[in-house]
Each structure stands twice: as structure tokens, then as C-alpha cells.
Structure 1
Amino acid sequence: MTTRKPIKKAVFPVAGLGTRFLPATKAIPKELLPIVDRPLIQYAVDEAREAGIEQIIFVTGRGKTAIVEHFDIAFELEATMKERGKDMSVLDDTRATPGNIITVRQQVPLGLGHAIWCARAIIGDDPFAILLPDELMVGQPGCMRQMVEAYDEVGGNLISVLEVPREEVSSYGVIDPGSSHGDLTQVNGLVEKPAMADAPSNKIISGRYILQPEVMRTLENQGKGAGGEIQLTDAMARMIGTQPFHAVTFRGKRYDCGSKIGFVEATLALALERDDMGDDIRRIATRLLAETAA
């Protein structure tokens, strides 16, 4: 059996301005907006931890320090809760292990590829994961754990994909697929937002990656692409054929929380699944639908 370096580091690009959610994001990072009662970034970090990730790397920008503070120990809050006999377990997942959160700054908004490149010194020569917090992936096990299990089998580079109706492919990046085995598909190429008639598949790239450190060297020498930004997709495309590259079809649900509609959908869907509120939310939704239909 081939010995591979385990995936212990994950990069979270969180430097974006969140302009789609203004004015809510004027003073609060969009990654801290809550889906029910947990901030969006918490779902992504929990997903990474479930997959065995030990080092969390936030690529931040100005005004994003609250993200790091969320994973710190809030002494005054905890002391007050303890004194009042409140349940402290609600804060368990928000406490980072000492030294396992690192932040770097993306000082200029030059795209996702540039954001990942900003973490190059921390990544070093290790393979690493990337999680885009705007993509809320809900599954058992989580998306990144499914990918790590696939990585243990085939190594190389992996991206998560989802199958969508063909009429929707023009809104996404899709893979040019090769041979498939179960949930694993060999990737022959990547196509950004193809016309429906030209799309090589209906498998869209969905915000989770496991990449080899060589991608940093590719990004180092890469010029600007679409939108005048340094695109991660361009760097990955250049690595296809030089290293193993596979797609993992995610067994679960994806919510695009970078859009208002997707954010509301995720909030409603996750609330409906909660034992402590699902029945109440279902009654409220039914009533509201009846009132708007009247």
C-alpha cells in the first residue's frame, strides 16, 4: 500500500467583503452570519475537523478579526454562564486547540488562486485541503471526510462535484470526465461555465478541494485570468496530466450561502431537521405559505 502524507492542513479563504449581504455585513463578516444558531464558518471548520484536519488556516482581510475571535476562549462570557448554571457545551466547538489556528492576510483582492497562494509558507511541502465556507455541504459523513477517504485510496489531487440538471451547467465550472469507479471520476479537464450544448458533463465543482503543494508553484508564476483575477481553476487545469486528478461525487446536500436565496434555503432546511424546532418551523412555514397564497 502506498504511503501518502495525511491531510492535516486546511485553507479557508475568508477575505471577501460580502457585498451581496450588505448592510448586514458592513460590520460583521459574512462568514459569521448564522445558519439557525451557528455561524457559517463554524459548519466548515466542523467539517474539516471531522475529516481529521488539525491546522486551520484562515486567509483573511481587513475587518475579519472577529472570525478568529469566534474560535477563541471568551473568559467573561464563560465565567458568567458558569456562574448562572448555563449549559457550557454549546461553546465546545468554538474553542480552538492552542496553536491550531493560523491567519494570513490577503491584502489585495486578486482572486481565489491568489488567496490560496497567500498561505504557501504555512502549507510548505504538505498536501492540503481547501474549504469555501459559502458552500455549506451537509452530509453523513461530511464532504471533506468523504474526500479524505478517497484521497487515502488514490492520492493526488481531488475536487468535490455534484450532479445538476444539464440546463444549469452554464452557471458553474464543470469537469471533463474520464473513467469512473463508484463516486470517483478521473478528471481530464475543467471547463468554466460552458454552454449547455458544449458541457462535457453535468458534474459541477462544489467548493471543496484536496491539492498537492505543487499548486503553489503553479500559482506563483500564473498570470491573471477571468475577471482580472488569479484563478485557482486555471492552476488546477495546468496540473491535470502531471499528477493524478479525480473528482469525488459528494453524497449529501449543497447550499449556496453566497446568495441570499441559498442562505435562506439553508437556514430553513437545517431548522426543519432540528429536533428542538423542526415541528414548530414546519407549522410556521405551512401557515406563512397559506397566508401568502390567500
Structure 2
Amino acid sequence: MKKIRKAIIPAAGLGTRFLPETKAVPKEMLPVVDTPTIQLIVEEAKASGITDILIIIGRNKRNIEDHFDSNPELEANLARKHKDKMLKAVQETNGMNIYFIRQNHPDGLGDAVSTAKSFVGDEPFVIMLGDDIAKADEPLTKQLINCYEATGESTLAVMRVPHEDTAKYGVIAPTKEIKPGLYDVDSFVEKPDPKDAPSDLAIIGRYLLTPNIFDILADTKPGKGGEIQLTDAIDTLNKTHKVYAHELVGSRYDTGNKFGWLKTNIEYGLEHPEVKADLREYIKQLGQKLTEEDQK
């Protein structure tokens, strides 16, 4: 069984939900307190044993490349001034092999993944979406790798969502729970109408796939939204090579929309050593103020 050492991070989207900020700043570079979202994704990959990452970018995404480039002047300055914590922060992703490729004509997640075929070769690999942050004692990517090592098959991360929200996700139709949190799946459905959703188990932004997916993607026709949907290709793959679903053990944060991003910042801020005390006090004062206003 081949070791999982490669990951793909699709980051070519336009980020229109965050305009005007994303006119010049990639949404993946929006910070969670003081760390770009995409760095948190790369840190998860590193903690899971991934060594090689391909980031798929589009126009106006050079900021991402610059962020993961070395900055000898800055690092030397921090070392000279003995600012060890800051130095450690900017070196957090050192040691990773990070590559970039441009998706010239974005046509859905499936199309983006297709651009990574030569990078992946004949190895199993992980897809990590930059909008999803998972916080867990064991990184979510490592949870998927553990499942692959036990089954030898592709595995997707899922979580339970309110039934009315199933139209926002790919959703699985499970046949049985093989062991706690690991599901045998009959089919995968992209953004079903809630009345047609086969379950409340929604696919979230971590996929571990075998390279068979690339030949399937090459033949996949546009689906929902007129785009090449990765979920459709996975459903086809499942007909010939088993694809399992693993339920997240931990918490998931969606930074792909304004409210989700704000909520993520608040929750991470409440654990950040530099701001947690002040933020907690501010939230208490704000809560009291809002309560008083509601009572008027």
C-alpha cells in the first residue's frame, strides 16, 4: 500500500462572497485572527504526514505564492531581535514541498482537481478545500489516512448538518455503518433538494482519493451549475472502486461565507493567548449591552 504524501488545495475561486476585499486579496489569505486560512490548511497537512502540496491558483493569486515563499530578511530581523515566537510563526510551514499551478478557465471543483493529474501520478492523494478548517485532537486529514490504511479505498470526510442545509453540500446515501463513524455508501448526490436528500451526512472539504478518479473526471459531463462536479465523478468511481465516508471527529469551521468567517475568528480568538482575555470581556460587555437594548 502506497503512503499518502501528496495533497491538493484548490484555491482558484474568485471569492465573490467577500467582495470588495477579494478584488485584490485571495479569500484563502483572509486571516483567522492572525493566520491566513490557507496556512491553517497547510499546517493540518503537515501534521498529517503530507510532504508535497499542489496549490491550484487563478489570476490575482500571487499573494499565496509570496506567502509560502521564504523571507530571509524578515527571518533574520526576527532572529536578531530574539522574537522567537514570531520567527516560529513565519517558519511554521517550512520543510513542505509546495508547488503551484494555474487553472486558466475555472469550471468547477472537478475541473480544478483534473489539473493535478501529473502531480499525483499513480499515488493516492488528499484534496483539502481552503474554505474548511477542521479542529480535532487528530487532524481530519490524518483521520482519513487512517481509514485508507485500514481499507485501501478512497474515503471522504462527512458531518451531520441540519436537513434544510443539505442543498448546500454533496450528500451521501449510506447503506450501513461498518464501524462507528465509517460508512459504506450507495451513492453521492451533489446539492440535493432537501426533500430528495438521502441523509443528513454532508461531504465536507477533505477527500482521500485513488488516482482512478482522473480518468473518470476526464469523462464527467457538467452537472449542477453547469460545472464539472467532483461529487459526480466520485459517485461514478464508487460503482467500480469502493468509496467510504468517515464522519468527522472534531469541529468544522466554514470560512467561505461572511458569517462563518466571523464565527471562526471569534472562536479561535477565544483560544488565542494574546487576545482571549480581552475578547472574552468584550463579548460579555457586548452581550449585556444587547440584552439591555432588547429590554427597552
**TM-score, with structure 2 as normaliser:** 0.93
**Residue 182 of structure 1: CA displacement?**
1.1
Question: What is the match of residue 221 of structure 2?
Answer: 223
Residue correspondences, number: 289
Q: Structure 2 residue aligned with 1:205, among 203, 206, 221? A: 203
Equivalent in 239, 244, 260 of residue 262 of structure 1: 260
Any conservation in 1 of the 2:29–2:64 contact (CA below 8 Å)?
yes
Q: Secondary structure at the match of 2:262?
A: helix
Q: What is the CA–CA distance in structure 1 between the aligned matches of 2:242 and 2:202, rounded to whole Å? A: 19
Shift of 1:263: 0.1
1:19 aligns with: 16
* Partner Cα distance (1:107, 1:287) in 2: 48
Indicate the larger mover: 162-171 or 130-139.
162-171
* Alignment partner of 1:145 out of 126, 142, 147: 142
**Structure 1 unaligned residues grouped into runs of 5+:** none
| Superposed CA RMSD | 1.4
- The one-letter amino acid paired with 1:292 is L
Q: Which runs of 5+ in 2 are unaligned?
A: none
Question: Following superposition of structure 1 onto structure 2, how do residues 28-177 of structure 1 map, counting pairs within 5 Å?
Answer: 28-87=25-84, 88-97=87-96, 100-177=97-174
- Letter aligned with residue 144 of structure 2: M
Q: Deviations over 1:242-294 (max 9, x none)?
A: 11210000011111111000000000011112344322211111112222332
In structure 1, what is the equivalent of residue 194 of structure 2? 196
Q: Deviations over 1:165-224 (max 9, x none)?
A: 323323322100012111110111012233334322110001100011011111112222
TM-superposed CA distance for 1:82, in Å, is 2.3
Q: Is the 8 A contact 2:43 2:93 kept in 1?
A: no
In the TM superposition, residue 84 of structure 1 has moved relative to its aligned partner by: 2.5
The question of whether the paired residues in 2 share the 8 Å contact of 1:31 and 1:133 is answered with yes
Q: Secondary structure at the match of 2:21?
A: coil
Q: 1:54 to 1:167 in 2, by over 3 A?
A: same
Determine the C-alpha separation between the residues in 2 that align with 1:202 and 1:149.
Answer: 24
Kindly indicate whether the alpha-carbon contact (under 8 Å) linking 2:18 and 2:258 is maintained by their aligned counterparts in 1.
Answer: yes
Question: TM (normalized to structure 1)?
Answer: 0.94
Which aligned runs of 4 or more in structure 1 are off by greater than 3 angstroms?
A: none
Q: Work out the percentage of aligned pairs sharing the same amino acid.
A: 40
Counterpart secondary structure, 2:205: strand
Q: Name 2:239's counterpart in structure 1.
A: 241
Partner Cα distance (1:277, 1:86) in 2 = 18
Q: Is 2:283 the partner of 1:277?
A: no
